Amino acid sequence: MPSDAGSQRTGLLLGFTAYLLWGVLPLYFKALAHVSALEIVAHRIVWSIAFLALLITFWRRWSAIRAALGSGRVVVTLIVTSLLIAINWLTYIYAVVSGHVLEGSLGYYLNPLINVLLGVVLLGERLTRPQVFATVLAGAGVAVLAVGAGSGLWISLTLAASFGLYGFVRKVAPVDSAEGLSIETAMLAPVALAWLLWMRASGELAFGHVGLGTDILLALGGMITAIPLLLFTAAARRLPYSTLGFLQYVAPSLQFLLAVLAFGEPLTVPHLVCFGAIWTALAIFTVEGVRAARSRTAKIPS
């Protein structure tokens, strides 16, 4: 149907833009490397609330938020997604400020494979033989990294699992992107604000004590956090889950290049073996996805 095709084109544009923004996000966090990861996450949440409140007011969506909060299913779902995205934010910021951008990019390369596993385990989807081989190959690559240079492997696995589950749950949540993200951040805001107040009382708060540039960057965290997530969740409701997963190649590819070329992180042999295995696995999944799409198209009567 034309409307479905138009929705998918819009979803592709939204998803590509979201992953492009996420791909260059390490530059922002590197500029805040002198601030603790927990404070950065807390500021992201607090300033996101302010930014989203303005958007919700401008778009006149407060009634939709009240309706969402009136559904117990939606509230429980968004409690889960808020915890998942908080774990993802904290882990990724720690990865960047501690010099583990490579492990961060690996985590997001793993994400499409996590999506496949979720489809198999939770939705009963079946894999072709090439896809089974690709999954085993990717697992072998991760095992090589774990044995040879796995000190930061927990970062990769945590990022892949948390964001894969977040995208899966948000896709099935009966709430639009802006309302869902607003409720998620509102749920996290009391904890974030309490943490910032505690840091201020203990004299550890960077905001207001380091410099105007740092204050501006932390305040911009709301926009930098909310915009790509809004784009992503809007795309997730318009695209097949597999398509959304493969769009993600944009972000880790940019992060990989930044880690090696801009930040000078060491690219070891275990890293090369692991990345090579995962890139090969993703190529197999891409070819299989294209083949399956052509097969479905061929079966549609003209």
Give me the phi and psi of 14, to 5 degrees please.
-65, -45
How far CA 5 is from CA of 180, 238, 245, 266, in Å, comes to 25, 10, 18, 43
* Short-list 45, 36, 79, CA closest to 192: 45
Q: What is the pLDDT of residue 71?
A: 86
Q: What is the pLDDT of residue 213?
A: 94
Q: What's the CA gap between 165 and 254, in Å, rounded?
A: 23
HSE (CB half, 13 Å, CA atoms) of 143? 6
Quote the CA–CA distance of 259 and 262 in Å, as a whole number. 6
pLDDT of residue 2: 41
Compute mean pLDDT per 10 residues along the chain, 302 residues long, and list them: 64 88 92 93 92 90 90 90 93 91 87 79 78 85 76 87 87 79 92 95 92 94 87 79 69 89 88 87 78 64 54
What pLDDT is stored for residue 150 in this prediction?
65
Separation of alpha carbons 37 and 16, rounded Å: 27
Crossing angle for the helix pair 221-236 and 177-201, to the nearest 10 degrees:
150
Strand segments, DSSP code E, in 58-122 are none
Q: CA 183 to CA 49: how far, in whole Å?
A: 9
- Check residue 29 and give its pLDDT: 92
* Alpha carbons 181 and 89: distance in angstroms, whole number: 14
Domain boundaries, the chain: 2-299
pLDDT for the residue numbered 269: 87
DSSP 8-state secondary structure symbol assigned to residue 248: T
